Amino acid sequence: MNFEHFKFLMSNTFKQGTEDDGALPAKYDSVAVERLHPLVLAYVGDAYFTLYIRTRLLAYEQNKVRILHTFDAKMVSAAMQAQGYKGIESILTEEEIAVVRRGRNAKSNVPKSATISEYRYSTGFEALLGSLYLSEKFDRLSEIAEKAFVVISREMTNTAGKI
């Protein structure tokens, strides 16, 4: 996307007027999950997993934000998400694996903090979470997030000195 197109989208996204209740009208009536770009799914999945991890960590610490942030940042890193995905891959359905594959193959920039492989697997994992969330498959979403949390926390326990 070029800069002019970006500026156009920014200036027109919420420009359609307002509803009677003062809310901005939605551009779309519904979300066709299967038609969304995998990076959009990963965007939603990243938000979900971050919130999941942060609330899950409250079972261990409720007063020290710095400790919460340290663990949160490590657990949602591309390297740890890739480990989490590899630990749960065997329980995924063919449909879920296909979503992960779409996310893994999406073109995106790879940060310096992760290998290309780690980043691709974490993007695929986030795309799966985003797909499940937007499809309202909340039981399955919780199951996968919890199993990934366990895998990641065990991995961190084995490498506790690296936090």
- Tens digits of per-residue pLDDT, 142-159? 999 999 999 999 999 885
In a domain, 67, yes or no: yes
CB 91 within 8 A of CB 51: no
Largest CA distance in the chain: 56
Domain total of the chain: 1
CATH of the domain at 100: 1.10.1520.10
Neighbours of 118 (CB within 10 A): 20
In a domain, 43, yes or no: yes
Catalytic residue selected from 20, 21, 29, 46: 46
Tens-place pLDDT, residues 118-130:
999 999 999 999 9
pLDDT, mean over the chain: 88
Tens-place pLDDT, residues 76-94:
999 999 999 999 999 999 9
The Cα 99–Cα 89 span in angstroms is 12
- Would you call 2 helix, strand, or coil by DSSP? coil
CB 84 within 8 A of CB 152: yes
In a domain, 12, yes or no: no
In a domain, 116, yes or no: yes
Tens-place pLDDT, residues 91-114:
999 999 999 999 999 987 777 788
CB 65 within 8 A of CB 154: no
Would residue 46 show up in a list of annotated catalytic residues for this protein?
yes
In a domain, 158, yes or no: yes
